Amino acid sequence: MSSLKGKCALVTGGSRGIGRGIALRLAERGASVAINYVRDEGAATETLHAIQRLGVTGFIVRADVSNPDEIAVMAGRVREEFGRLDIFVSNALGNLLGFFAPPHVASLEQLDDAFRCQPRAFFAAMRELSPLLQDRARIVAISFWPGSHVGGFQPYFSMGANKAAVEAMCRYYAVALAKRGITVNTVCAGITDDSIVNALPQEAQDALLNWLRGGWNPMGRPGTPADIGGAVAMLCSDDAGWITGQTIVADGGTSLMSTEVPLAFQQA
């Protein structure tokens, strides 16, 4: 396990779900973690206490990442508390359920809202945090492969298109920052239990998670926040210093399955 001792990290949307899993994995490896949240201060505080029990420091900071002014305030708080930044994880999602609509139904407002909380938020954060980034820093954005690379999940249209934009931005930033040894990558999480999935109606949760347990995930289960946190922590290690501009799919192999071939044939 590569140590992140002495590193300072910021995780947006770090209070719950995948963001919490990332924050805890970074803390387990010794990093101090700033936990951004927008609504649930109690959950952010619980995550902070969990980090502190691991023997590292951190703090919570409220900011709506769709608002550039609030991102600037968040960056100022990181400057006050840490004075530097070694790891930035762009994880905050926004109101996913508010974006659900296929392309011929989605409104301009839904597309704009997804833009504000994804590529524009990432750009604004990079602009504000750049002066704090240390040489050999690590930047990771969280995406979702079925949303950003395929078109079958029609209701994900607005979010998927904007997640794809963030992935493209990571490639540009990877080139721009490479001379400083800073890496910029994307982790595409698969469907993850204890995440935004659990905000869906129970019937939808059961259908999605049981589909994976039934064999469409080769490992026979959905992902967990700790799984995604582990992938992020790996990319934040010194050992991953030669990996940049890449989109890493952390889905337990789900994306390897063929939709054209019956599951029974694939398991034979």
Q: What is the CA radius of gyration of the chain?
A: 18
Whether residue 163 lies in the annotated active site? yes
Residue found by looking up tokens 């990996």 in the block: 243
Rounded CA-CA distance 147/199 in Å is: 17
Judge whether 172 counts as a catalytic residue.
no
Exactly one of 5, 163, 173, 179 is catalytic; which is it? 163
| Active-site choice (7, 37, 156, 173) | 156
Catalytic machinery residues: 156, 163
